[in-house]
Structure formats: structure tokens, C-alpha cells
Amino acid sequence: MNSKQFGNLGEKIAENYLRKKGYQILDRNYSFRIAGNPQKGEIDIVAKKDGIISFIEVKTLQPIRYIKFGREQFSAISPEEKVNFNKQKKLVKTAESWLMKNKISLDTQWQIDIIAIEISQDNKAKIRHLKNAVF
């Protein structure tokens, strides 16, 4: 499975998780070209629950297994650590763009969440939902 397919799998897991938690999915993979930036911003999932619009960044990793000093170890980085400051700024601008495109006031309650997914070697997913993680 290549990295794009792995990311898509994570997004599908996140979408199913959100639906089970009572979220309504409003949009997926919304992208926006940010002025002065050669890259585009993207929101993986836009969802709504209890009147709050959540712009959700999904990060999926498979812990890297290695042997150190004769003992099994796993990589120390977590999926949510991949959402750095520059990515956070891009998420805010992209979320605001989505609200304007959909003619929703910026005064509407909205937040940016991160769903971190770790898929083990035996294909079990561990999900962490960090609400209002970027502001």
C-alpha cells in the first residue's frame, strides 16, 4: 500500500469514527490555493455536531518497528506531531475559505480538530480525536 492509499484508509477510518460519534459529514478533501503560497491548503473532513463545524485534519501512521539493544522499539513520533505550526496556519486559512465559499459567517462556531490514527502491524487502528487542537 502506498502512502496515498494509506492516507485514504486513515480518512475512511476517521469518517466512520465521526459518523458513529454523531457527526454529520459536510465535505471531504476540500482544497484551496492560498495566495502567495505555491502549495494548496486542504481540509480532510468537514463535519458538524451540536451546531459546531469541525475542520478535521487526519494523520495516519504505522509505527516503525526496530530493534535497539536487543529489544523491540517503536518510533517515537505520533501522528498529531506532524501538524506543525505552518500546517496549522494553512488549516486556519483553508477553513476560513471553506466558510466563505459556503456563505457561512466567520462568527459561526467552528474549530479545527486533529484525528490521529496509528495502524499496528496486525491492522488494528488506535484513534485519538483532539478537539479544537488548532487556534
- Give pairs for 46-49: CB < 8 Å, separation 24+: 46/98, 47/18, 47/23, 48/23, 48/24, 49/21, 49/22, 49/23, 49/24
Q: Supply the pLDDT for residue 77.
A: 74
Q: List per-block mean pLDDT (blocks of 10 residues) for the chain, which spans 135 residues.
A: 84 97 98 77 96 96 66 68 87 94 93 93 89 87
Q: Supply the pLDDT for residue 52.
A: 97
State the DSSP code for 23. Answer: P
Contact 46, 28 (CB under 8 A): yes
The domain containing residue 80 runs over which residues? 3-134
Q: Supply the pLDDT for residue 7.
A: 87
Tell me the three cell numbers of residue 131.
478537539
Cβ-proximal residues to 52 (8 Å cutoff; 6+ apart), any chain: 109, 110, 111
Number of domains in the chain: 1
CA distance 23 to 46: 10
Q: Supply the pLDDT for residue 39.
A: 72
CA distance 127 to 118: 7
Q: Supply the pLDDT for residue 72.
A: 59
Cβ neighbours of 130 (radius 10 Å): 15
Q: Supply the pLDDT for residue 33.
A: 82
Cβ-proximal residues to 77 (8 Å cutoff; 6+ apart), any chain: 61
The radius of gyration of the chain's CA atoms, rounded to the nearest angstrom, is 16
Domain holding 94: CATH number?
Answer: 3.40.1350.10
